[in-house]
Structure 1
Amino acid sequence: MNTNEEIRSAFEQVAGSTHAITVIGSMNADYTVETERLPLPGETVNGGPLQILAGGKSANQASAAARIGGRVAMLGAVGDDDNADFLLEQLRHAGVDVSGVAHLQGPSGTTVITVDSHAENVIVYSAGSNGKVDEDYISAAASTITASKTLGLCLESPMAAVVRAATIAHDAGVKVLLNDSPFQKDLPQELVEHADILLVNEHEMAQLLGIEAPADDDWSGMDWERLALRMNDKGFRESIVTLGSEGSCVLSCEDGKGSFTMIPPVPVDAVDTTGCGDAFMGSILAGLAADLSLMQSARLASYVAAYAATGLGAQTSYGSAEQIIEKFGL
C-alpha cells in the first residue's frame, strides 16, 4: 500500500468507526489580527481588520476530529456572553456534540492573537469560564468519559479537573492523550500515571527534559532513541513530538529500549499556523479511536494539520476528509 492509499484508508477507517471520543477543556473566542511583522516589546504596528474566530485548544481538537469523521463529545464551560452561543454553534457545525457543555455566569474564554506575514503568531489567553470547570462537573460527566475510546486533555482548564478526568478515563480503560500545553514542567504524578500518551512540541520537550534546543533549530540530528528513554523516565512510555514544518516524531519505550519513528511533513504554503497543533492532536484522537496505530494516526494528522496551515484561524481552517484528500491529491 503506497502512502496515498494508506492515508485514504486511514480517513475511511476514522469515518467508519463507531467509537466515541471525548475532549475536555477550553473553548475560546479568538480575536485575531494580521500584521506584516510581530511587534517588539513596547512597539505598535499596524494590523488588518480584526476577526473574531472560534478557538480554544480543546474546542479546536474536538472540531478537527469531528470534521474528519470522528464521533466527538465536548465537555467544558462557556459563559453567558454573546461569544458562548457563537462558540457552541461553530462546534455543532463541525459535528461535535456539545450537549454536555456547562453554561456559567461571566465571560467565555478568549484569546488575542497576532499573526504575521510569515504565518508566525503570538497568543495571549484569558481563561474566563474555562477556569471554572471543576472536579464536580467532571465527576458528573463521568458517563460520557467512560463511554469513549479516547480522551483528549490539555492544560487550559484547572489542573484538578484535568487530573480527575484522566483518573476516570484511566480507571475505565479509556486511552488518555495529554497535550502539555500551555506547558507545565512539573505535572502532578497522578496525571502522569493516568496519561497513556504525551503530545508536546520540540521546545516543550526540551523544557520537560531539561535539554538545550539545537542552535540552528535543526532537530534531525538528535539522539531520538535516548530521548525516548528520557521521556519514559518522565513517566511517558509513548509520546509524540511535533516539529513544526519538519514533521513529527513518535517515541516509545519497551523493555528498557527506546525507539522512534520520524513522520515526514506535508509541504504547504502556510498562511496561518494558529491551531495546527490542535488539528494534529484532534486527528490523533480520531485515529486512535478508530483503532489506527499511533504511527498511522500521526501520518494522518500530518495531512490534517498541513491543510489547516493553508487557512486563517483555527477551526475556520480545518477541512473535512474529502477536502483534505482533494487538496493533496490522495
Structure 2
Amino acid sequence: MPEPTRVALTVVGAINVDLTARVERAPGPGETVADGVLQRGPGGKGANQAVAAARLGADVRMVGAVGDDLDGRGIHERFAELGVDASGVQISDAATGTALIVVDASGENSIVVCAGANGAIDADALGIEPGAAVLAQLEVSDAVVSAAAEAAGFFVLNAAPARPLPPGVLDRADLVIVNETEYAQLPEVHGVPLLCVTLGADGARLYRHGDLVASAPGVPTTVRNTVGAGDAFCAALVVGLLRGDSETDALARACTVGAAAVADDASQPDLQPLDAYEATR
C-alpha cells in the first residue's frame, strides 16, 4: 500500500496557554461556583490547528508569537517534540497569550482571551515562503491576516472569531471555514469560491460560490470538550484537500476528526494520522 501523500502547511495564528476550569455548570452573572477543577495546557486557534495538522500527517510550520517567558519557552519545546517547525514563532516583549476557559458538564465552553504576544506579531516578518499553503484565523491582527493572505499560494481563512474582515482578504481566499454563528454574522463570505460551514453535531456543508457541492453527517460521540474541535476539523479538511482527497471525502473525514476531538479533554487532542479516520457519509 503506498504511503499517503505528505503535504506542507503554514499556520498563522494565535498561540496561548489555556487555563481551563471544568465545572458542573457555568456561573451566571454575579454568581460563584465552587466545584471547579483547574487544568493548564497549550491552546490558541493557530497552535491548535498547527498541532492537529502535524498529528494528522502534514509538515507544518507555525507563524505567531510568544513571550520571552516560561510559557513561551515551554511552547517552543512542545512544538519541537511534535515536529512542528517553530522558526516562524516570534519572541515578544509581551507575555505569552492566555485563554481563560470554563467548560461545563455538557462540554460547552465560554472563553476570555488575553492576547498578549499574539497582539504584537510583526506582520512584516512572517517569513512565509512564496506559494505556500497557508491557514489563518482571526485571533491575530488585520495586518497579520492580510500579510498571510498576500503571501500565500493557497489561502484558507478560518473566519473565527467573527469580526469585520480586513479589506481584500476574501479576494485572496481559496477556502473559508465558518460555523453556523459566524456564517450568520459574516454574509460577505457566502459567495466565496469555496465555503465550509460546520454544523456541530449535524456535520458540515461545502459550498462553491453559494451552491452546495458536498455535505457530511455528524459523527455521534461523547462530548468532553468542544474548545479544540473546530480547530481539529479545520486542520483535517485542509490537509485532506491539499493531499488530493475529493471534497466529499475530505469533508466527511474532517467531521470524524472533529468528533474525535470533542471526545478529548484537551484543546490539542491526541489525534492519529488522517487515514485512521473513516470518511463517514
**TM-score past 0.5 threshold:** yes
Cα deviation, residue 313, structure 1: 2.0
Matched, 1:158 2:145: no
When the two chains are superposed, the root-mean-square deviation of aligned CA atoms in Å is 2.3
| Cα distance change on mapping 1:168 and 1:325 into 2, 3 Å | closer
| Cα distance change on mapping 1:323 and 1:192 into 2, 3 Å | closer
2:168 corresponds to which residue? 190
Describe the superposition over 1:275-323 as per-residue Cα deviations: whole angstroms up to 9, x where unpaired. Answer: 10000011122112212233322212111111111111211x2311289
1:248 corresponds to which residue? 204
Q: Give 3-state SS (helix, strand or coil) of 2:208's partner.
A: strand
Describe the superposition over 1:80-136 as per-residue Cα deviations: whole angstroms up to 9, x where unpaired. Answer: 111112222333333211122111222101100000000000011111111111221
1:142 corresponds to which residue? 128
5+ long unaligned stretches in structure 2: none
Q: Give 3-state SS (helix, strand or coil) of 1:101's partner.
A: strand
Q: Provide the rounded CA distance (Å) in 2 between the counterparts of 1:18 and 1:249.
A: 25
2:156 corresponds to which residue? 177
Q: Assess if the C-alpha contact under 8 Å between 1:307 and 1:324 holds in 2.
A: no
Query: Aligned residue pairs: how many?
Result: 280
Cα deviation, residue 54, structure 1: 0.4
1:239 corresponds to which residue? 195
Q: TM-score if structure 2 supplies the norm length?
A: 0.92
5+ long unaligned stretches in structure 1: 1-11, 211-229
| Cα distance change on mapping 1:289 and 1:113 into 2, 3 Å | same
Identity of aligned residues (%): 37
- Find the partner of 1:270 among 223, 232, 237: 223
Describe the superposition over 1:18-38 as per-residue Cα deviations: whole angstroms up to 9, x where unpaired. Answer: 431000111100001100011
Q: Provide the rounded CA distance (Å) in 2 between the counterparts of 1:324 and 1:122.
A: 31
Cα deviation, residue 325, structure 1: 4.6
Q: Provide the rounded CA distance (Å) in 1 between the counterparts of 2:57 and 2:257.
A: 12
- Rg larger in structure: 1
1:92 corresponds to which residue? 80
Cα deviation, residue 59, structure 1: 0.5
Describe the superposition over 1:217-262 as per-residue Cα deviations: whole angstroms up to 9, x where unpaired. Answer: xxxxxxxxxxxxx811xxx121000011111111113xxx723422
Q: Give 3-state SS (helix, strand or coil) of 1:182's partner.
A: coil
2:29 corresponds to which residue? 41
Q: Provide the rounded CA distance (Å) in 1 between the counterparts of 2:183 and 2:215.
A: 15
Q: TM-score if structure 1 supplies the norm length?
A: 0.79
Relative contact order, higher structure (CA 8 A, sep 6+): 1
Q: Assess if the C-alpha contact under 8 Å between 2:145 and 2:166 holds in 1.
A: no
- Find the partner of 1:321 among 256, 273, 278: 273
Q: Assess if the C-alpha contact under 8 Å between 1:304 and 1:318 holds in 2.
A: no
Residue 32 of structure 2 aligns with an amino acid whose one-letter code is T
